[in-house]
Amino acid sequence: KSYRVAILGATGAVGAELLELLAEREFPLADLKLLASPRSAGKTLAFKGEELPVVAVAEDSFNHVDLVLASAGGSTSKVWAPKAVEAGAVVIDNSSAFRMDPNVPLVVPEVNPEAAAMHQGIIANPNCTTILMTVAIWPLHQVQPIQRIVVATYQSASGAGARAMEEVKAQAIAILQGETPKTEAFPYPLAFNLFPHNSSLNDVGYCEEEMKMVKETRKIFNAPDLKVTATCVRVPVLRAHSEAINLEFKEPFSVTKVREILANSPGVKLVEDWEANYFPMPIDATGQDPVLVGRIRQDISHPCGLEMWICGDQIRKGAALNAVQIAELLAAKDLIKL
């Protein structure tokens, strides 16, 4: 069976990766439609050696489409995803628009593939930092339930899209030339700097990105009472996020056992050379599918605590790859239908 697929947001950073992954993983395509804003109408994008036209999304865009991979931001998804479903398509949405909707499964294929079967047309792809963290800690949670997660993120510019990545490069050049860096995509210069995540703050001082990690992890794990606290920070890395994760279990969890479990977990790659002090780095995670995990150690402040450090490609596993894996999962179970 093959599918008529549309990518909404094809010209963006995640869109580009979706195109690459559909080709690389040989997703069974009967047709591929590239949709973006009117700004991109008339452009073309290469796919398997062919130049495909980019079309401005419109009312009739989803006729004769089985599957939509949407990555054009929350407000665009809110408008177009329901229209796509109405036209008969299943939507895998990369935005935050529907993630917490009780009727929308929030899926990480390594964690809760079974949730995908409940879809009513829309399936949400979680936030990038949440995807990367859940892949790395779910296998441990299966063996010993996690009581509390304390996480700090080091998030790359790619999380804010292609324009933000270009902005950081331009800022670096400007600073090196003694000029004042321009800021548009970000509120502050990111090159040679970092700042707490620029999403909106709630009344108890957490930003939206941090609350996504809290709420989405609970939903994906189906653990509504799981204690999670996060500090999200943007760092001047182009792509691939890093996270310092502290886990608290009910009982001590031996580091040897943790390594053994993670060495055999899907989507995880252990990267630890204690003699060379070599551990996961964003430059090594860039372009890679697995989440790199290392610096696994006993938390010396708590007998049931565990520390670990992870890096994962934000655009790949943190967005496009997870979406394509969901598509593959749906195809395998014949769930690309309403």
Catalytic residue list:
128, 241
In the complex, the smallest distance separating the C-beta of residue 10 from ligand A2P, rounded to whole angstroms, is 6
12 is a site residue for ligand A2P (CB under 6 A): yes
Structure tokens at 38: 């009117």
Closer by beta carbon to ligand A2P, 66 or else 167: 167
Closer by beta carbon to ligand A2P, 73 or else 88: 73
In the complex, the smallest distance separating the C-beta of residue 130 from ligand A2P, rounded to whole angstroms, is 17
Q: Segment contacting ligand A2P (CB under 6 A): 4-12, 166-174, 221-229, 282-290?
A: 4-12
- Is residue 273 within 8 Å of 285, Cβ to Cβ? no
Closer by beta carbon to ligand A2P, 83 or else 148: 83
Q: Where are the alpha helices (DSSP H) in 177-285?
A: 208-221, 255-263, 282-285
13 is a site residue for ligand A2P (CB under 6 A): yes
Report how many residues bind ligand A2P under the rule CB under 6 A. Answer: 17
199 is a site residue for ligand A2P (CB under 6 A): no
11 is a site residue for ligand A2P (CB under 6 A): yes
- Residue in the shown chain whose Cβ atom is closest to ligand A2P: 12
Burial status of residue 105 (CB atoms within 10 A of its CB: 0-12, 13-18, 19 or more): buried
Q: Segment contacting ligand A2P (CB under 6 A): 7-15, 210-218, 251-259, 329-337?
A: 7-15
Give CA–CA dist 212/303, Å, rounded: 28
Closer by beta carbon to ligand A2P, 55 or else 258: 55
List, edge to edge, every strand of the sheet that includes 291-298. 195-196, 227-234, 146-155, 241-249, 305-312, 291-298, 268-270
242 is a site residue for ligand A2P (CB under 6 A): no
Closer by beta carbon to ligand A2P, 9 or else 126: 9
Residues 36-95 that bind ligand A2P (CB under 6 A): 36-37, 39-40, 57, 72-73, 76
Give CA–CA dist 25/15, Å, rounded: 15
Give CA–CA dist 208/232, Å, rounded: 9
- Is residue 271 within 8 Å of 279, Cβ to Cβ? yes
Of 136, 305, 303, nearest to 221 (Cα)? 136
Give CA–CA dist 44/311, Å, rounded: 33
Closer by beta carbon to ligand A2P, 13 or else 124: 13
Residues 138-197 that bind ligand A2P (CB under 6 A): 161-163
- Is residue 143 within 8 Å of 220, Cβ to Cβ? no
Q: Is 180 helix (H, G, I), strand (E, B) or coil?
A: coil
Give CA–CA dist 251/144, Å, rounded: 8
Tell which one of 6, 15, 65, 214 touches ligand A2P (CB under 6 A): 15
Residues 114-133 that bind ligand A2P (CB under 6 A): none
Q: Can you give the binding site for ligand A2P, defined by CB under 6 A? A: 9-13, 15, 36-37, 39-40, 57, 72-73, 76, 161-163
